[in-house]
Structure 1
């Protein structure tokens, strides 16, 4: 962790909704005049899309389980930890982008499933903001979580997560439904061992729970809306959290445990604004005291 150069990380699996939380943070950064260096977790994948496909096919041809983007074999977690350490020390580091879809491909002039070149982070930023799969990951080789000042987990119930992934990957990224299902199955081992444990290290978890039937996520015609959901918000350390204020501001919310508030899904953005803005203020105030 760094007093002078804070790091904020939003972590969650593919289809969890971390991009939505990223947009909320960007709105707060803009409103509060915070100059954040944005880093995408997918940029630390080890392989291009074609290389990843080849790795999986070769492993499965030998009767082995193919690697997944959830596990360390297919990611440069060492470079991610190096970035966090470098930024915490001196607000420096390097980043790149992964080309997910056709729109990004046209914008960047690069094929889908490839990377841009590595580049230095902008000079003079107030904080580093990471959004991706491994913001709180710990393995035998790396401990990314220890460098982060504010860790946010985005954790929809698993059926909802799969529905969101299916709809995004088939409609936006051009995958077939069968390919997405194969990916979900192949990732399960790494999901249990490298994704789930992160949510015990996060400072706050936002878990969306649908209140409509999601029994078979692979046959769902649409993604449950926010209005068809509740959001369970768990604080690792509830000390200093003004729960009475949140209950007044977030109509129809309630406390389910001493460290947990449940809010209507339609008020998720407001809840994040109310909860996260003061935390960003604290990080910026602490930073100013050290600059």
Structure 2
């Protein structure tokens, strides 16, 4: 659906690589002079890191209930309200969750694992870009997906996703490998219940597949590089895709199915920009004529 205030949602698991898509959008927005409001899904977690640790120490039986994948551990009423408000009038409130890699905010005095105060979105933006866990969520109570004009899934093969999460959380966030693996295992029921179904609602899925051995993701190993992978890109509406153009522009790309394009991993960013730029332009063009 095209609205006066479009919403683009990038959804994927922790460690999936959704930030790669956000960076591609940032370059696109800068080049096309698009003013976007950026919102990260972690901002809608219900608990700070300290609160999460306290719950697990005092109530270990609640471990699954406080998984960040689960609805119980997130402020989804507030997220749905943000999407609804932005789609209606281009406004809403948001906040930041501070990660260890947020160097600038840490230098400003924010503590890792805490939230900034709620604040209003910037005025006069052209669209909202959400990146997080629940952009395509639908449950008996919530329907976040209905607000997304463009819903993008980032879903690397599961072993690669876990390798990426272990690498990031140990190197950037200070967790032990054992702690990260324990988190992965405890979240699995919520991953199956809340995360996987979203990829059947997306307009486009990007799935990176390694071309090196990742049989045991829980052994210490380097994350496969872009050049050691392929990217499977599936389109919900294949009729809206100019496949001949993409095949001509992306060297060594090919089609595996009528709705699926395969590109070398090193050309993933190029593919994203070629695919997503015209879709964003169409959303904004529709907005201008309303």
- For structure 2, the 5+ residue unaligned runs are none
Instruction: Look up the match of 1:18.
Output: 18
* Mapped contact 1:159–1:214 kept (Cα < 8 A): yes
For 1:94 and 1:111, how far apart are their aligned partners in 2? 21
Distance 1:209 1:163 in 2: 12
Alignment of 1:199-278 (within 5 A): 199-278=199-278
d(CA) in 1 for partners of 2:24, 2:64: 37
Q: Report the Cα offset of residue 36 of structure 1.
A: 0.3
Alignment partners' CA distance in 2, 1:199 and 1:79: 22
The answer on 1:150 being equivalent to 2:159 is no
Distance 1:54 1:195 in 2: 25
C-alpha contact 1:9 1:130 (8 A) present in aligned 2: yes
- When residues 269 and 110 of structure 1 are mapped into structure 2, their CA distance, relative to the original with a 3 A threshold, is same
Assess if the C-alpha contact under 8 Å between 2:46 and 2:73 holds in 1: yes
Change (3 A) 1:104 1:53: farther
Q: After superposition, where does 1:107-186 map in structure 2 within 5 Å?
A: 107-186=107-186
Shift of 1:240: 2.0
Distance 1:7 1:64, change over 3 A: closer
C-alpha distance in structure 2 between counterparts of 1:200 and 1:277, whole Å = 22
1:52 Cα deviation after fit: 1.0
Paired with 1:40 and 1:66, the residues of 2 have a C-alpha distance of 21
Normalization by structure 2: what TM-score? 0.97
Please tell me whether the aligned partners of residues 98 and 106 of structure 2 are also in contact (alpha carbons under 8 angstroms): no
Call closer, same or farther: CA 1:240–1:64 in 2, change over 3 Å: closer
Paired residues in the alignment total: 289
Cα separation, partners in 2 of 1:162 and 1:5, compared to 1, 3 Å: same
Q: Structure 2: how far apart are the matches of 1:65 and 1:241?
A: 40
Q: Is this contact kept in 1: 2:12–2:18, CA < 8 A? A: yes
Once the two structures are superposed, the pairs formed by residues 54-93 of structure 1 within 5 Å of their partners are 54-60=54-60, 62=61, 65-93=64-92
8 Å Cα contact 1:214-1:220 kept in structure 2: no
User: Does the residue aligned with 2:188 lie in a helix, a strand or coil?
Assistant: helix
Q: Is the 8 A contact 1:133 1:195 kept in 2?
A: yes
For residues 63 and 151 of structure 2, the distance between their equivalents in structure 1, rounded to whole angstroms, comes to 34
Deviations 1:68-87 (A, max 9, x none): 00010100011101000000
Cα distance 1:136–1:172, how it changes in 2: closer, same or farther (>3 A)?
same
Residue in 2 aligned with 1:282?
282
Output the CA distance in 1 between the equivalents of 2:87 and 2:196. 25
2:44 maps to which residue? Answer: 44
| Native 8 Å contact 1:157 1:209 kept in 2 | yes
Superposition TM-score, scaled by structure 1 size: 0.96
Instruction: Tell me the secondary structure at the aligned position of residue 289 of structure 2.
Output: helix
> Which is worse superposed, 102-111 or 157-166?
102-111
Structure 1, unmatched stretches of 5+, are none
| Inter-partner Cα distance in structure 2 for 1:64 and 1:182 | 11
